[in-house]
Amino acid sequence: MSDGRSLATAAADVETVIRELADAGGLRAGQLLVIGVSTSEVLGQRIGTSGTLEAAQAIYAGVEAVRRDIGFYPVFQCCEHLNRALVMEQEAAQRYGLEPVNAVPVPKAGGSMAAYAFRHLPHACLTETVQAHAGIDIGDTFIGMHLRRVAVPIRPSIRSIGAAHLTMAYTRPKLIGGARAVYTLESEADGGTCD
């Protein structure tokens, strides 16, 4: 998966699945999309062993194509060497009240994807945690810790990016209550009174 054609396919596939996720989950401008990527897995290698900035560049291009249309904030998860910290725009961190932390992701400590994103987002910063509205996981990097509750899995039309397994989810507010609970104004019914 190292030739230019394969990487162009990866960029197009990432764009396709993020559009599917945005449609299914109603991803809007200003919301957070967490993205976990093992470029090693994309290339058919074991996670953390063979990452490349070229694969990261292709994936970033796919993300950026959709971000330009929708206006969400992409949030790139680092590897465990930076405790799965997150690369994001300073504007997004300020908007969501997130405190920046001081580290610079590099391929061997943060991962190739986070290192690439840190250098290519216009005003990048690193934060320790986020509660994103949706997420995409390329290569089983486990992004769940950075999603809001409740996560709703989506089955993409494309099941892998390169050789990397792909999963994704959007989040929705919790449904609280019980048998008498009403979740929309249109379905409001007389359920009795609460004392």
Spatial contact of 125 and 100, defined as CB atoms under 8 Å apart:
yes
Q: Please indicate, yes or no, if residue 138 is contained in any of the structural domains.
A: yes
Q: Please indicate, yes or no, if residue 181 is contained in any of the structural domains.
A: yes
Q: Select the more confidently predicted residue: 70 or 6.
A: 70
Q: Domain containing 40: what range? A: 4-187
Q: Please indicate, yes or no, if residue 192 is contained in any of the structural domains.
A: no
For range 125-142, the mean pLDDT: 97
- Return the pLDDT at 186: 79
How far is it, in rounded angstroms, from Cα 189 to Cα 182? 8
- Return the pLDDT at 54: 95
Q: Select the more confidently predicted residue: 194 or 54.
A: 54
Angle at 92 between CA 87 and CA 96, to 5 degrees: 110
For range 12-32, the mean pLDDT: 98
- Return the pLDDT at 188: 61
Spatial contact of 91 and 49, defined as CB atoms under 8 Å apart:
no
Q: Please indicate, yes or no, if residue 193 is contained in any of the structural domains.
A: no
CATH of the domain at 160: 3.40.50.10360
At residue 2 the predicted structure's pLDDT band, cuts being 50, 70 and 90, is: very low
For range 14-41, the mean pLDDT: 97
Q: Please indicate, yes or no, if residue 194 is contained in any of the structural domains.
A: no
Q: Please indicate, yes or no, if residue 54 is contained in any of the structural domains.
A: yes
Q: Please indicate, yes or no, if residue 52 is contained in any of the structural domains.
A: yes
Number of domains in the chain: 1
DSSP H/E element including 32 = strand 32-37
State the pTM of this model.
0.89
For range 107-134, the mean pLDDT: 97
Q: Please indicate, yes or no, if residue 183 is contained in any of the structural domains.
A: yes
Spatial contact of 25 and 171, defined as CB atoms under 8 Å apart:
yes
Mean pLDDT of the chain: 92
Q: How confident is the model over 149-161, as pLDDT tens digits?
A: 999 999 999 999 9
Q: Is 96 helix (H, G, I), strand (E, B) or coil?
A: coil
CA dihedral 26, 28, 34, 38 (to 10 degrees): 80
